[in-house]
Amino acid sequence: MTLPCGIRNYTYAEDMAIVRTGTHWVLLIGFLILLFTAPLYFNNYWLGVFNLIGITLIAAVGLNILVGYCGQLSIGHAGFIAVGAYTSAILTNRLEMPFLVGLIGAGLLSGLVGLLFGLPSVRVKGFYLAITTIAAQFIIIWVINHWGLTGGGNLITAPYPSIFGLEFRAESSQFYLIIGIAVLGVFFAKNLTRTKVGRAFIAIRDNDLAAEVMGVNLLYYKLLAFFIGCFFAGIAGALYAHWLGSLNAEQFSFTESILYVGMIIIGGLGTNIGPIFGVVFIRVLQQVLTIQLVPFLEKSVTVLPSGFATGITPMLFGLVIVLFLILEPRGLAHRWSLFKASYRLWPFSY
């Protein structure tokens, strides 16, 4: 990482630190204080949006490890989230197990299902691998719709999350649970990418043949990437189930899977901060269009024909994403890097 002028590392520990200067610490602590005091400033609706962002972020971080770092294209992420959601709902509702068992069980089962569908990655890659993950999406949803344990297409409910007798009923308490896990997930992913495992992932992504020649075990690391990516998806699914309270397989559509890929591309593939930017951008854009813009246009701009605003919204959503990809193909993370560099060098341009 580039350091401000005059700052040097004198020990290995200093060189490896994530937070490296006093300014970094102040900014980080300030951000965390702002984040965790959000329930004081925002109403339930916005806390609900933050919770949705937190859940989406956990899943997107997992997908970023799989696609962004290890280069294994997956277009079935919503299916793996569904595995986690249904696992936790079944464990906590039907088998009346504690929430934590449901949460960890969801992550593990999703990870194992991910391993299963990741097996073809040993032989195929790129678009061919994408096709196998699309198959995972449809197979998982089919099983959910037809298996008695998952409700066979009927509604399945999940109770409020509860840890050691502390029940997370209010939106604000769920916020602490979800955002807390999201922060841990982001921190884990950040660290993972700096370890031997993370470097093996990057080596496989950049050139798997060269990586193998260097001694990286492709089978092990590719499957590990699938396991970790889908473990994150499972955790996100479990939180989604308990946050929403009721599940139907339609909530985990193929469109959602594509949206997840879109989020990490918009945020910046293979960067730690990318999923945060991508998820916040997409989810806030959805809310602004749905909650703010459409009712405003329909109510206030009476010269528009009826239904115009609702019709134009999906187009606007698509247009923003397309423009984004044209103007900033390396994602918001790249723009953030440019901003940081210019801030660091200011007032000089070099």
Interface residues with another protein (CB under 8 A)? 43-45, 48-49, 52, 93-94, 145-146, 148, 151-157, 160, 169, 171, 243-246, 248-251, 286-287, 290-291, 294-295, 298, 306-307, 310-311, 313-314
CB of 318 to another protein, least distance (A): 12
Which residue, 287 or 337, has its beta carbon nearer to another protein?
Answer: 287
Give 174-221 as a DSSP string. HHHHHHHHHHHHHHHHHHHTTSHHHHHHHHHHH-HHHHHHTT--HHHH
Rg of the chain (C-alpha set): 21
Beta carbon of residue 30, minimum distance to another protein (angstroms, whole number): 27
| Closer of 61 and 81 to another protein (Cβ) | 81
Q: Least distance to another protein from the beta carbon of 82, Å?
A: 12
Minimum CB–partner distance for residue 263 and another protein (Å): 13
DSSP per-residue letters across 237-278? HHHHHHHH-EE-GGGG-HHHHHHHHHHHHHH-TT-SSHHHHH
Where would I find the beta strands (DSSP E) of 42-184? Answer: 156-157, 162-163, 166-167
- Pick between residue 35 and residue 312 the one whose CB is nearest to another protein: 312
Residue 139 CA to residue 226 CA, distance in Å, equals 17
Both structure tokens of 210: 């060269």
What count of other Cβ atoms lies within 10 Å of the Cβ of residue 112? 15
How many CB atoms are closer than 10 A to CB 320?
A: 15
CB of 70 to another protein, least distance (A): 27
- Whether cis (ω within 30° of 0) applies to the bond prior to 275 is no
Q: Which is nearer to another protein, 98 or 159 (CB)?
A: 159
d(CA 184, CA 222): 23
Q: Which is nearer to another protein, 13 or 155 (CB)?
A: 155
Q: Please tell me the distance from the alpha carbon of residue 4 to that of residue 345, in angstroms, as a whole number.
A: 8
Report in angstroms how near the CB of residue 286 gets to another protein at its nearest: 7
Q: Please, what is the minimum distance in Å from the beta carbon of residue 298 to another protein?
A: 7
Residue closer to another protein, measured from CB, 133 or 150: 150
Q: Closer CB to another protein, residue 77 or residue 205?
A: 77
Amino acid identity at 4: P
